[in-house]
Structure 1
Amino acid sequence: MDDILSTHPDKGTFDLPELRAAIDAASRCASTCATCADACLHGEHVEHMVRCIDLDTQCAAICRTTAEILSRPGPNGDSWRAIVEACIAVCRECAAECQQHDHDHCQMCARDCTACADACQALLDAAD
């Protein structure tokens, strides 16, 4: 991702290290959340994991979308900011839910959700 972003003719006002970090964190979080949801579905007592699975799938979707939108760093309208803010909110909610479960996959998911929220917040801070 670093190579392609550095060649983009219109980087907007993004500070490239924060942009790269947010894209990488969102991509990783999307994958981790999808895997966590799948692991929850195949574990014991799936009926107790419904909220976790739901938040995992929502988080995976917003993180994929965020990574895709941020991979096109053109003009900085308000829409990219709204998507990044939504990503932060969903990641934080998903992290809080996953932290309540003792499964290793849930703990890893909480870690990656928190890292994504932090990277996205750093991007917003750098863009201000």
Structure 2
Amino acid sequence: MSDILSTHPSRDTFDLDELRAAIEAASSCASTCATCADACLHGEDPAGMARCIDLCNQCASICRAAADVMSRPGPNGDSWEEVVRACIAVCRECADQCASHDMDHCAACAQACRDCAQACETLLAVAD
């Protein structure tokens, strides 16, 4: 991904290192959340994990969308920031939910969510 971002004509619009980190964290979080939701669904008590499954699925969807939007760094107004803020919000909520369960997959998901929220916050902090 780093090569393609560095060739973009609007590459000076963002700090490329922070942009790459946020895209990678969002992509990783999306796949981790999808796996966590699936693990919860196929675990011993899927009904008891309904809130976790729902949040993981929401987080996966929003992280995918955020990664997609961030992968297009051309000047397009400020709406991208709102997508990134939504990603941060759902990642925090999902991290809290997953952290409340004593399962390895939920612990991994909580960490991926925290990492994504942090990378997105860092990107917003350095955005022009």
TM-score range, shorter chain: over 0.9
How many angstroms does 1:13 deviate by? 2.4
Could you state the TM-score of these two structures normalised by the residue count of structure 1?
0.97
Residue of structure 1 equivalent to 2:109: 109
Structure 1 stretches of 4+ moved >4 Å? none
User: Paired residue for 2:48?
Assistant: 48
Deviations 1:43-79 (A, max 9, x none): 0011110000000000000000000010000005111
User: Any residues of structure 2 matched to 1:74-113 within 5 Å, and which?
Assistant: 74-113=74-113
1:19 is matched with 19
Unpaired runs of at least 5, structure 2? none
Q: TM-score, normalised by structure 2?
A: 0.97
**Shift, 1:12, TM fit:** 4.9
List per-residue Cα deviations over 1:13-38 (Å, max 9, x = no partner).
21010000000000000000000000
- Greater shift in the superposed pair: 40-49 or 5-14: 5-14
Q: Secondary structure at the match of 2:100?
A: coil
* Matched letter for residue 4 of structure 2: I
For structure 1, the 5+ residue unaligned runs are none
**Would you say how many aligned residue pairs link Structure 1 and Structure 2?**
128
Distance in 2 between residues matched to 1:76 and 1:115, nearest whole Å:
26
The 3 A distance-change label for structure 1 pair 90 and 65 is same
> Which digits, 9 at most, give the CA deviation of each residue in 1:101-123, with x for residues without a partner?
01100000000000000000000
1:82 is displaced (CA, Å) by 0.2
Percent of residue pairs bearing the same amino acid type: 69
